[in-house]
Structure 1
Amino acid sequence: MIFSLFIFTGCFNTTQPQLNSSSATILIKTPQMKFYDKGFIYKYKEFTQVQIFSAGTAILDMKIYNDRICRTTFKCQDLKTFNKENLSSSYPDNFLKELFEKEQKEVIHRDKQNDILIKIIRD
């Protein structure tokens, strides 16, 4: 009996519940990253998840926590390191998380000096 209970409970998803989600067209263009397609932004209590899809395949799956960013293509990085390697070391640590958590229909961040364009258009 206990064994069967373990099997059934082991299959349940333990991911925390979403606070909200939205679909969007997302453009991330930096010297190191280039993504542009439809995607989803999920807000959870502990992190914000950004997924971009192309032809039904996730080309970006990124979880943005208060102290690190995790992508499926690399190990988690602290925010300073991520900003330095992918955006600009001059950006505040929480820049990306705050950008994706904005509730506006259209969010545009253009930084010509660092050749960065991030555009989020919510459906």
Structure 2
Amino acid sequence: MKTPNLKYYDRGFISIYNNYTQVEILSAGTTILRLKMYKDRICRDTFECQTFSSFNKEFLSSEYKDTFIKELFEKREKKTLFRDEKNRILIKIIRD
């Protein structure tokens, strides 16, 4: 995941539960990013929960639909690549 405000190039886990989806990115065995995405909000372990629209505005692009990031991580495809050159965003998900 590479955006102007988030830069992570490591491996991690995507866990989909009934009430939320969790993305955990690890570096050298240590969690460096944890996102919990609920139906109406997204939470990061380093700040309080916020709406998807405020998360998009701060870290992605306000042009994206609210649940864009949640839907991207919930895709079941082996490889997901999202590239937005205008906003300098690259999100690459490869499932083992």
Where on the TM-score scale, by shorter chain, does this alignment land: which range?
over 0.9
CA distance in 2, matches of 1:66, 1:35: 24
Q: Which residue matches 1:17? A: none
**Identity value in percent:** 61
Report the Cα offset of residue 65 of structure 1: 1.0
Q: Higher strand share goes to which structure? A: 1
Q: Which runs of 4+ in 1 moved over 3 A?
A: none
SS in 2 for 1:100: helix
CA distance in 2, matches of 1:74, 1:109: 25
CA distance in 2, matches of 1:116, 1:38: 18
* Pairing 1:107-122 to 2, within 5 Å after superposition: 107-122=80-95
Unpaired runs of 5+ residues, structure 2, are none
Q: Which residue matches 2:43? A: 70
How many residue pairs get aligned? The number is: 96
TM-score normalised to the size of structure 1? 0.77
Report the Cα offset of residue 114 of structure 1: 0.2
Report the RMSD for the aligned CA atoms in angstroms.
0.5
TM-score normalised to the size of structure 2? 0.98
